[in-house]
Structure 1
Amino acid sequence: MEMFQTAQGGDSLPLAGHPLFHSADLDEARDAVAQVYCDHHLDVMGKHGFAARHNRLPGSALSINVMTYSAKTMIAPGALERFYLFQLPIRGHASISNGDARYVIGGGSSGVLNPDADTCMIWSEDCVQVMLQIEKRALMETARAELGLPSGTPLRFSGANDMRGAEGRSFLGLLHYVMAEAERGGVVLGGDTLLGKQLERTLMVGLLQTQAHGLPAACGERGPMPRSVRRAEGFMRENLRSPIMIEDIARAAGTSTRALQSAFRDRHGRSPMAFLREMRLERAWEELSNPSRHTSVTEVATDLGFFHLGRFAEQYRKKFGCTPVETLRAALD
């Protein structure tokens, strides 16, 4: 976003005075990133030559990072385990898969990776991201103190978040201030200073205020999954491109339509057909994020049973925070 770019000028990255590494070697870049994050797969998808640059400002419970890959790149770390990762592209876009969540960030939107979910990302060519790496323990403690998160309850973030509103701009303004002070030599993170600790705590509170999260629904994902629901989900997954109805799903699950409706509302808080629509939207995201040169939004949508393209685009935007065309364009860049 503008506040991070205009302060630096040219092609230099924010936090230029705090370089971690700069390499055109894929293996060297992977090893350097793994040392501060976690082990991961790193693969070049585009035709552009590979180069990676990473600047890093470490603190006590979090670090501020600026990173770019010159080529379109796939990063697959699996589960992060020890930390949450806030990501804000200030140039380019990234397609994110984090557990069941699928979304695209960029153009003013951000997202947070949950540490307990398998993760795979595709960064567009020359994507530049500002990232906050926050210790899981520290953010959970802040959520308990500030939001009343019950002890033992997981904190999970979901989807893309528009950072162009008042709260988003305030949070990013504080983040930019800390980075700008570091560039002027006034490093305020890390150490045992009261100011450093308070700034880290304020950044974590700002993240909690601007990123979508919530406690799991009381009926959501507790207890073993009923056999009928498990069979129904398997049948749906195998027939995403088929014109199936609720009666077909109930028959495959070995139950009545009324019992299946009740089981899905108890388990997922929605009807089987609404759940099927979500599965089809996620499949659309996967196909648009990993296209061939022949892929089109219309073909993907109609192949998955979305024949009203305007309604499909709106449902897609509501779920992923961007339009299908934006996902495809970012994947093809």
Structure 2
Amino acid sequence: MESWFKRGLSPLYDASPLFASSDPQEAKLGTTGALKEHDLVWRSGKVDSFLRHLQLGEVSLFLLRYGAAVHIAPGELRRFLLFQVPLEGSARIAVGDTVVAADARTGALISPTLPLQLDWSEGCEQLLLKIPRERVEESCSALLGAQLDEPVEFCPQFVLDSPRGRSWQHQIGALLSWFQVPGQIAPTQWVRAQEETLIQHLLLCHQHNYSELLRRRSGAARRNVRMAEEYIRAHLQEPLDLARVAQAGGSSVRSLCAAFKEHHGQSPMAYVRDQRMAQAHAELLSAAPGTRVTDVALRWGFIHLGRFCTRYRERYGRTPLQTLQQ
């Protein structure tokens, strides 16, 4: 775990506790209310428990401590995916058939449909991040372009001292940054986008039962984009619409738009406009005497001359006429 990441958890440490108690029953009831009903066995050590909580959109962040060593058996979480990592102490986390030896360098990603048992050491204090199961499955379905046949189940071990783990810490840090100033409210659209980024990081960077299918889907998407690009370049001076481009790319409109967004950061039709603008610019640079800007614009599909001139100047820092006259 990066040192800056732990320092960035200060808003969570400063949050008012949902409970802070030396009473074992109160601690159990408090965690049940925030997370899930579970069996809790107290072992060695003094009970010194608390649970702190911050909510941003549908993502819940918790800081949980029992003080004493405990055994926890919640069974399947069912409704949510849970990431947890010790900030102090260690834990043995059994998720399905896999056991994770969790410490400050290694966390656990707990899928909703796998049985769970945990053994926390004395003084163990953990960061928990809770994401609704339906959001994970919706995102996975969207990436695949198909309905899921079975629940998403992740490899439980989550190594933080890796490029993927450090990226994950940065994303959690971005969420927590909104709580650095009391009363500061994050924009709703940003929150939604950040939630999706967190989920897609897990789906695209962390191993799970749909990983291979997503890799194949990504390869197919790249091929579809290349086919669409070739078609666009060959028909730039002809009328083009999204349905025709998608058909040439061998995919649906929705899938092609998602693939272009991933590979080019823009829609297929925005890509068409950029390619047409580039061709118009090249023609203006090498135009013969007597060439008119209007003729060049129309040849490359720009019907509205004023709009063409505005976009051209925004892109190239000069007007089409200035390029023509140079």
Equivalent pair of 1:15/1:182 in contact (CA under 8 Å): no
Corresponding residue for 1:78?
A: 75
Is 1:143 matched with 2:140? yes
Equivalent pair of 2:27/2:66 in contact (CA under 8 Å): no
Instruction: Name the aligned partner's letter for residue 31 of structure 1.
Output: L
Corresponding residue for 2:90?
A: 93
Length, aligned pairs only: 212
Corresponding residue for 1:121?
A: 118
Selected match of 1:23 from 14, 18, 21: 21
In 2, Cα distance between the equivalents of 1:97 and 1:130? 17
In 2, Cα distance between the equivalents of 1:76 and 1:152? 28
Kindly tell me: are residues 74 and 137 of structure 1, through their superposed partners in 2, closer, same or farther at Cα, counting changes over 3 Å? Answer: same
Deviation per CA, 1:86-139: give whole Å up to 9, x if none.
112222211111222222111311211121222110111111211111111111
Is 1:178 matched with 2:175? yes
CA RMSD of aligned residues (A): 2.5
Shift of 1:143: 1.7
Deviation per CA, 1:50-80: give whole Å up to 9, x if none.
1211111123322111112211111111111
In 2, Cα distance between the equivalents of 1:64 and 1:140? 20
Q: Any gaps of 5 or more consecutive residues in structure 1?
A: 219-333
In 2, Cα distance between the equivalents of 1:202 and 1:216? 17
Is 1:199 matched with 2:200? no
Corresponding residue for 2:12?
A: 14
In 2, Cα distance between the equivalents of 1:208 and 1:51? 36
In 1, Cα distance between the equivalents of 2:70 and 2:180? 28
Q: Any gaps of 5 or more consecutive residues in structure 2?
A: 214-326
Kindly tell me: are residues 132 and 148 of structure 1, through their superposed partners in 2, closer, same or farther at Cα, counting changes over 3 Å? Answer: farther
Equivalent pair of 2:12/2:53 in contact (CA under 8 Å): no
Equivalent pair of 1:178/1:188 in contact (CA under 8 Å): no
Equivalent pair of 1:88/1:129 in contact (CA under 8 Å): yes
Corresponding residue for 2:106?
A: 109
The residue matched to 1:50 in structure 2 has which SS?
Answer: coil
Shift of 1:148: 5.2
TM-score norm. by structure 2 comes to: 0.59
Deviation per CA, 1:257-299: give whole Å up to 9, x if none.
xxxxxxxxxxxxxxxxxxxxxxxxxxxxxxxxxxxxxxxxxxx
In 1, Cα distance between the equivalents of 2:119 and 2:195? 29
Instruction: Name the aligned partner's letter for residue 72 of structure 1.
Output: A
Deviation per CA, 1:127-162: give whole Å up to 9, x if none.
121111111111111122235574233210123121
Kindly tell me: are residues 209 and 14 of structure 1, through their superposed partners in 2, closer, same or farther at Cα, counting changes over 3 Å? Answer: farther
Equivalent pair of 1:84/1:113 in contact (CA under 8 Å): yes
Shift of 1:183: 3.5
Equivalent pair of 2:86/2:103 in contact (CA under 8 Å): yes
Mean Cα deviation higher: 165-174 or 177-186: 177-186
Mean Cα deviation higher: 156-165 or 79-88: 156-165
Higher helix share: 2
In 1, Cα distance between the equivalents of 2:129 and 2:184? 16
Shift of 1:188: 5.0
In 2, Cα distance between the equivalents of 1:35 and 1:87? 18
In 2, Cα distance between the equivalents of 1:71 and 1:209? 37
In 2, Cα distance between the equivalents of 1:62 and 1:85? 10
In 2, Cα distance between the equivalents of 1:132 and 1:125? 21
The residue matched to 2:12 in structure 1 has which SS?
Answer: coil
Kindly tell me: are residues 178 and 59 of structure 1, through their superposed partners in 2, closer, same or farther at Cα, counting changes over 3 Å? Answer: closer
Q: Using the aligned pairs only, state the percent identity.
A: 26
Corresponding residue for 1:212?
A: 207
Rg comparison, structure with higher value: 2
Shift of 1:165: 1.6
Alignment of 1:251-290 (within 5 A): none
Is 1:165 matched with 2:165? no
Instruction: Name the aligned partner's letter for residue 44 of structure 1.
Output: W
Shift of 1:185: 2.1
The residue matched to 1:57 in structure 2 has which SS?
Answer: strand
